[in-house]
Structure 1
Amino acid sequence: MREITSPANPLIIDLVKIRDDPKRRRRLNQILIEGVKLIEDIRALMPLLKVFSTKEKWLEAFAAEESYLISDAVLKKITATDNPEGVVALVPMPSIPLPEKITRLLVLDRLQDPGNVGVLMRSAFALSWDAVFFLSGTADPFNDKAVRAAKGATFRLPMVKGDFSKLQEIMSEHHLQLLAADMHGEPLAQGNVPDSHIALALGNEGAGLSKEMVDSALKVSIPMREGAESLNVASSGAILMYELSGRA
């Protein structure tokens, strides 16, 4: 066990870079995770490379290749949360290949809020969707906010990034029908949405779906009472995935 008291320590500076820079995360193939429950969950899936904590009991509980007892100032430097639990771990970036058979694919089209990305991944995993496709311009799923919001789904759900042509290749290979969430689309309650294999596309929080996505998809919507405001993308995505899980 080693001790670090200064936020200016080179190792701490490097951790902050990993937290904030997606290119550095991918180059090193490492990400930061925070919190007792998440670390306890993930250590059953992969090794903990380094653990940093203000309390010796967590360093003893989460045996890692390297353990560091840190000061409160160092913890504040590493974490991006207002009230950190006091333990952070550096782990390998998960890489889960796409399954041989895909029947339900979630497609995220340029979503900007990492929190929304994480919540949708959590919902997709909980509802047994097979994988998530991230179109170029979507927030990084390994962003620390996305990882916290995903509640472990980041380490269990197959993910792939690419452009629209890559998405078309996957849909063609697995015979998927592209559906696009649109408030003016076909209401799911009418039962006219196909029950064949599906890829559900959710668009940017402000701009919505890209034109090529809208032009290629069957637009679907959630029936809502008159006068109700549209739901945010995380809420509408969860509802649509739930409804389509019973149809696909």
Structure 2
Amino acid sequence: MISSRDNARIKWLFKLQSKKYRDQSNSFLVYGEHSLEEAKKNGFTLEIYTSNPNKEGLLISEELMRELSLTETPSDVLAICKKKEYPTLSNKILMLDDVQDPGNLGTLIRSAVGFGFSTIIASHQTVDFYHERTIRATQGNIFYASLIKAPLIERIEQLKKLGYKVYATSSYGSLKLKEIIPSDKLVLVLGNEGQGIKQEILDLADYKVMIETSHIESLNVGVAGSIIMYEWQV
């Protein structure tokens, strides 16, 4: 059993809590039995660690597992997983303009996979896809998504040439959600929690969409995106 933070393997696990090392190694950490099972099912697992001697994996102390988990109720298992190397384009694409909250991002990834938007393109300023809170919020669905970071204006122009229609959410949208018959190939753009979508991206949209609400000005981006993707699912 490994119990020292000075162990080389443990040092590497702590380093993978940093985006810098996740990017350098093209790998990331997942926590919990469910996420681990999804990783194994899809062939993304590299190494498994556990504090439970009755479970699969390299045994580490409960204290180290608590320190690595970063939550009040730590799991007894974690794994190093590899990132998907060759993202694909689905007919329905979710695009994110500077979404900052890891929980919102994880919720959107989970909903996107569930409703057929399996390609997710995010600006470079969007929070890391592989942040621990994002991973947890996806509930293992991250292994079914194609995740891409890219300059959004450039990518929108490319997708339009491929026949995609671009729908951007806006509080002042010209079309209400229920009025829209979505295209077979579409890009749904969601914006930053506080600032929304940048004007230069809104200007490229084929349609601006709003969700009608009662008594509230706007919805959380994770909620709004999930509602639209549900309505437009395959």
TM-score (norm 2): 0.91
1:48–1:136 Cα change, 3 Å: closer
1:77 aligns with 2:75: no
1:223–1:78 Cα change, 3 Å: same
1:219 aligns with 2:201: no
Indicate if the aligned counterparts of 1:7 and 1:77 stay in contact, CA closer than 8 A: no
Distance in 2, matches of 1:47 and 1:135, equals 24
Matched ranges for 1:100-115 at <5 A: 102-115=90-103
Q: CA-to-partner distance for each residue in 1:147-193, whole Å, 9 max, x for gaps?
A: 1111222111112211024312431243111111112212112x245
Q: Secondary structure at the match of 1:23?
A: helix
Q: 2:38 aligns with which of 25, 37, 41?
A: 41
Indicate if the aligned counterparts of 1:96 and 1:159 stay in contact, CA closer than 8 A: no
- Matched residue, 1:89: 79
1:83–1:208 Cα change, 3 Å: same
Distance in 1, matches of 2:162 and 2:136, equals 31
Indicate if the aligned counterparts of 2:38 and 2:143 stay in contact, CA closer than 8 A: no
1:241 aligns with 2:215: no
- Unpaired segments ≥5 residues, structure 1: 60-66
Distance in 2, matches of 1:172 and 1:184, equals 23
- Matched residue, 1:199: 187
Q: CA deviation at 1:78?
A: 1.2
Q: Secondary structure at the match of 1:111?
A: coil
Q: CA deviation at 1:54?
A: 1.2
Q: 2:105 aligns with which of 93, 98, 117?
A: 117
- Unpaired segments ≥5 residues, structure 2: none
Distance in 2, matches of 1:196 and 1:42, equals 30
- Matched residue, 2:22: 25
Indicate if the aligned counterparts of 1:94 and 1:154 stay in contact, CA closer than 8 A: no
TM-score (norm 1): 0.86
Indicate if the aligned counterparts of 2:34 and 2:140 stay in contact, CA closer than 8 A: no
Q: Secondary structure at the match of 1:4?
A: coil
Distance in 1, matches of 2:35 and 2:156, equals 34
Q: 2:139 aligns with which of 132, 148, 151?
A: 151
Distance in 2, matches of 1:49 and 1:164, equals 32
Distance in 1, matches of 2:212 and 2:153, equals 31
Indicate if the aligned counterparts of 2:92 and 2:184 stay in contact, CA closer than 8 A: no
Q: CA-to-partner distance for each residue in 1:37-68, whole Å, 9 max, x for gaps?
A: 11122112115322211111112xxxxxxx42
Aligned residues: percent identity?
30
- Matched residue, 1:13: 11
Q: What code does the residue aligned with 2:225 have?
A: G
Distance in 2, matches of 1:69 and 1:113, equals 33
Query: How many residue pairs are counted as aligned between the two chains?
Result: 232
Indicate if the aligned counterparts of 2:118 and 2:144 stay in contact, CA closer than 8 A: no
